[in-house]
Structure 1
C-alpha cells in the first residue's frame, strides 16, 4: 500500500525538475560571468599591448625600453591578481548560491518526509506503534545528522574560503614585493 497519491508524485517530480533547473541556471550564470570577465580581460590586454608596442617603437633609448618592460611586468602582475580575485569571487558566490539552494531543497524534502511519516503513523494499523515509532525516530535521527553535516560543511567551506583568501593575499604581497624589487633594480641599473 502506497500513501503517495498521484498529485504528490507529480509535485515531487515538479520540485525535482525545478531544483535541477535552478542548479543549471546558477551554473550557467557562473559561466556567463566568467565569460564576460574573460572578454573584458582580453580586450584590456589587447589595448594595453597595442599602447605598449606603440610606445616601445617610439623609444630611442634601450634603458627606457627596459624600464617600460619592467613597468609592464608590474602592471601585468597586478592585473593577473585582480583577474584571479574576480574569478575567485565569481566561483565562491556561485558555490554559496548552490549551497543555499541545496539546503532549502533539503529542508523541503525533510518536511515532505516528515509529512509522509506522519501520514503513515496516522494510517498505521493497530499494533504497529513500535514500527511507526522506530520509523519516526529514524527520520528524526537522519534529519539531525544531516543538519549537523550541513552545518559542519558550511563551517568548513567558510574556513576554506578564509584560508584561500589569506593565501591569495600572501601571494599577492609576495609577488608585489618581488616585482617592486625588480623594478628598483632596473631603475638603479638605468641610472648608472
Structure 2
C-alpha cells in the first residue's frame, strides 16, 4: 500500500468538508435557537403588556383574581412550547451531526478494508491470518458500534416519549388547577 500526496490531499479535503458540514449544522441550530428566543421574548413582552392592561381595567377584586387565574394556562402552554422548541432544535442538531459522523465512520471502514485488501495483495506469504484477524476485529467493532447505536436510539425514543407524556400531563394539571382557581374566585 502506497500513500501518495494525492491520497493525503483527498483525505485532508474530506476532513475539511466534514468539519465544515458539522460547523454549518451547529451554526444553523444556533440561528434557529436565537430566533426561537427572540420570538419567545417578543411574545412574552406582548402578553405581559396585555395582561397588565387587563388587570388595570379590572373593576373589582374578584375580576382581578379571575384574570390572574386566566393567565396561568396560556403562560404554561407557551413555556412548554418554548422548551419543546429548544428540545426539537437540540435533537435535530444531534441527529444531523450523528448522520455526518456515521457517514464518516462508514467511509473510514471502507478505507480500512481497502487498505487491508491492498496490504494482503502485497503481504508476504502467511500474513493472511493476521489480516483476517484484523478484518474480524474490525467487523466485531462495527457490530458493537451498531448495537450500541441502536440501543442509544431506543433510549432516546423512550425518553422523548416520557418527556412528551409528562409535559402533556403537566399542562393538563395546570389547566385543571387554573380552572378550579377561577371557579373559586
State TM-score, norm by structure 1: 0.86
Cα distance, 1:132 vs. partner?
Answer: 4.2
Q: For residue 2 of structure 2, what is the aligned residue in structure 1?
A: 3
> 1:184 & 1:72 partners in 2: Cα distance?
11
> 2:120 & 2:65 partners in 1: Cα distance?
81
> 2:170 & 2:47 partners in 1: Cα distance?
24
Q: For residue 180 of structure 2, what is the aligned residue in structure 1?
A: 185
In structure 1, which of residues 163, 171, 177 is the aligned counterpart of residue 159 of structure 2? Answer: 163
Size of the alignment, in residue pairs?
Answer: 185
Q: For residue 173 of structure 1, what is the aligned residue in structure 2?
A: 169
> 1:74 & 1:33 partners in 2: Cα distance?
26
In structure 1, which of residues 138, 142, 167 is the aligned counterpart of residue 134 of structure 2? Answer: 138
Deviation per CA, 1:105-147: give whole Å up to 9, x if none. Answer: 11111111111122222222xxx23334413431342244224
> 1:106 & 1:11 partners in 2: Cα distance?
16
Contact 1:34 1:90 in 2 (8 A): yes
Contact 2:22 2:97 in 1 (8 A): yes
> 1:129 & 1:43 partners in 2: Cα distance?
73
Contact 2:65 2:182 in 1 (8 A): no
> 1:171 & 1:155 partners in 2: Cα distance?
24
Cα separation, partners in 2 of 1:161 and 1:88, compared to 1, 3 Å: farther
CA RMSD of aligned residues (A): 1.9
Residue segments in structure 2 that go unaligned for 5+ positions in a row: none
Contact 1:114 1:139 in 2 (8 A): yes
Structure 1 segment 105-144 matched on structure 2, within 5 A:
105-124=104-123, 128-144=124-140
Contact 1:34 1:87 in 2 (8 A): yes
Deviates more, 1:26-35 or 1:146-155: 146-155
Cα separation, partners in 2 of 1:90 and 1:141, compared to 1, 3 Å: same
State TM-score, norm by structure 2: 0.89
